Each structure stands twice: as structure tokens, then as C-alpha cells.
Amino acid sequence: MVTEQQIREALTKVIDPELNRNVIELNMLRDLHIDNGNVKFTLALTIPDCPLRDQIEHDARMAVLALEGVKNVEITLSAMSEEERNRLFGKSTAPQTSDFNRIGRAVAIASGKGGVGKSSVTALLAAGLAKLGYHVGVLDADMTGPSIPRLFGLREPPLGGPNGILPPRTLRGIKVMSVNLLLPREDEAVIWRGPIVSKVIEQFWNEVVWGELDYLLIDLPPGTSDAPLTVLQTLPVAGIILVTTPQELSSMIVRKAGRMAEQLNRPILGIIENMSIFICPVCGTRHELFGPSHVEEITDAPLLGRLPIDPQLTVMEDAGAVEVYETEETKKLVKEFLKVVPPPYGR
């Protein structure tokens, strides 16, 4: 005979994808009746027209049906009263998305210079962290040249829920928000001046339902103007990771990004050198295509890794499969990243 305790336990595995908490924790379970293997209960959603109601109902049914002795499951969906919601979230009636967000570590990936592979590095780090089981989000702060959705093969627009914007998830469950997910065509030009860019970045932080994240990686655009400035000035980022290429010219411009971070009192947590070398797959010759490394001249922060030029990565990025790409270098990168940005919540 199945017990109430068993059902409650089973339902702790049903997660509200929007809030990243389980339905028991959220106090959704009501009116549980068990009658000879027939189980009936109500789930009170936090909001009546929750766009994920079908998924929650399905997950709950599967979880309970999996218990030995359960023959049938009947679920009624209802909604919490405003008072219940307030009790749960302990806040004012007006839903503020940030109430649901609990972001462990926000880290900005910066370079100052364009085209050094900030977005590639961001995506590779996110994928590596997600593979290790961390909850990861990527906020694409590049409004006019957003690369992140393409790398992960994301096209569908985010769902607009009553609690905020629901970011689409990648294969490995990384939550992604980018202006390119909102455009009718991905090659549409976003001709916005700085104030609008800054406003939208703040919205991506405040009005997106990130839920509970260990890491939120923020992919900055090139330069040291509005977008990077807004991220470093107004968002509670733990620090920045610099990305550079060997060319001396890149080093000079990447140093500018480092100086910006210093001036805004954001620590440089580490530096990554991209496109360091190319090894000819035919003859094995090692080519320093962009010259010898100048990474030591940029910062005293730890060097987290050097990534070679790999045509295979380009292919997988263009195919939207950056998450599947993994090499010894990328694994080492994630390991070094975890040393300088240790997981939050004592995980």
C-alpha cells in the first residue's frame, strides 16, 4: 500500500522549471486522497495560467505512477491565492521576477577586443559546467552582435510567463537569454543607441526567470562603452574573465577592458588565451598564426588556459552544437575556472 509519505517524497522530484524548486517545497500539494491504489490530489500552481502547467502535471503523474502499488493518478490543477503566494515568496503582491532568481555567481566574460572568441569561450565554459551538474545560465549582453543562440542552436523565442521571460534551455539545460531570440530574423539589425542597450541588459537580469543558478555567465560585447559599463556598474558580478588572442595589438586592447574593470572595482578573476596555435593536421607543424603569446603583459590574474584554433570547433559552432565539443583543453579550462570561481552554496 502506497503511503502519503511516499507520494510526498516522489513529488519532491517534480521541479517547477520556472522557479527551480520542487512542488512540495513550493507547497503546491493539496487534498491528497489515496484509495486502494487510486491517488487523487490537487496541485496549486503559483499562478493560474502558468505556461508550464502541462509539464508539471505530466511530471507529477509520472513520479507518482512510478511508485509501487499505484494504479491510477488523478490530478486537479488550481492556483494559489494571492495571500498564499505572498506567504510563499514573502514579498509584495506585484510579481517581481528577481524574487524567484537566486544567482550564485555572476561572471562577465570580457575582452574589449572583438572577435577573440568571448562567445565561444562563454559557451564552452557553460557547457563544461553544466556537464558537471551545475545549474548554468548565459546572459548575452551583446545586443548588436549576439552569437550565443547560434552556438547552442537555439532559435525559438522565449516564452513570456506572468513571472517574467522564460529563457529557452539548451540540450544540457543551460538557460539562455539573448536579443537574437527576440528578433523575427536572426540577421535583423538592432540599431539601438546606448541607453536602450543598457535598459535591455537590465531587463535581461531582472525580468528573466533564471531561477536558481550556480553560475550566470555574461557574454559582453567588445569595447568599454555602454553595454560592458552597465553590466559592471549595475549588476552584482563577482568579477570578469578576460579573453585574448596572442597578437600584441589584441593585448593592448584587452588591457583596456582590464583597466575598465579595475576602475569599476571588479576583480579580474582569470584570463584565457584563444587561437593560441594551429597544428597542421597534415604535417603536424605548430603554427603561431597570430604571433607569440603576450598574455603575461595583460594581467597578473591566473591564466586559465590556452585554446588552439580548431576548424572542428567552427563547424560545430555553425551547426549549433558547441555543447558537444570537448577536448583536453576545454576540460582543463573548466577545472581552472572552478578554482578561481568556486561553486556557490558550498556545493
Binding site for its own copies (CB under 8 A): 112-116, 142-147, 150-151, 186-195, 197, 221-226, 229, 245, 247-249, 252-253, 255-257, 259-260, 263, 278, 280-283, 285, 287-291, 309, 311, 314-315, 317-318
**Residue 42 burial by Cβ neighbours in a 10 Å radius (0-12, 13-18, 19+):** middle
- The torsion angles phi and psi of 137, rounded to 5 degrees, stand at -125, 155
CA distance 32 to 177: 38
* CB nearer to its own copies: pick between 104 and 112: 112
DSSP state letters, 95-160: --HHHH-EEEEEEEEE-SSTTSSHHHHHHHHHHHHHHTT--EEEEE--SSS--HHHHHT--SPPEE
- Cell numbers placing 155: 532559435
* CB nearer to its own copies: pick between 259 and 306: 259
Smallest distance from its own copies to CB 124, Å: 14
* CB nearer to its own copies: pick between 32 and 249: 249
CA distance 266 to 262: 6
* CB nearer to its own copies: pick between 198 and 330: 198
What is the SS3 assignment for 12?
coil
Smallest distance from its own copies to CB 69, Å: 53
Smallest distance from its own copies to CB 123, Å: 11
* CB nearer to its own copies: pick between 44 and 240: 240
DSSP state letters, 298-324: T-SS-EEEE----HHHHHHHHTT-GGG
Q: Hey, how many other C-beta atoms are within 10 angstroms of the C-beta on 250?
A: 26
Residues 6+ apart with CB under 8 A from 264: 229, 232, 233
* CB nearer to its own copies: pick between 179 and 304: 179
Smallest distance from its own copies to CB 32, Å: 51
Contact 161, 18 (CB under 8 A): yes
Smallest distance from its own copies to CB 248, Å: 4
Smallest distance from its own copies to CB 130, Å: 21
Residues 6+ apart with CB under 8 A from 335: none
* CB nearer to its own copies: pick between 190 and 338: 190
Rg of the chain taking only CA atoms, in angstroms: 23
Smallest distance from its own copies to CB 49, Å: 34
What are the residues facing 43 on neighbouring strands? 29, 77
Smallest distance from its own copies to CB 250, Å: 8
* CB nearer to its own copies: pick between 16 and 142: 142
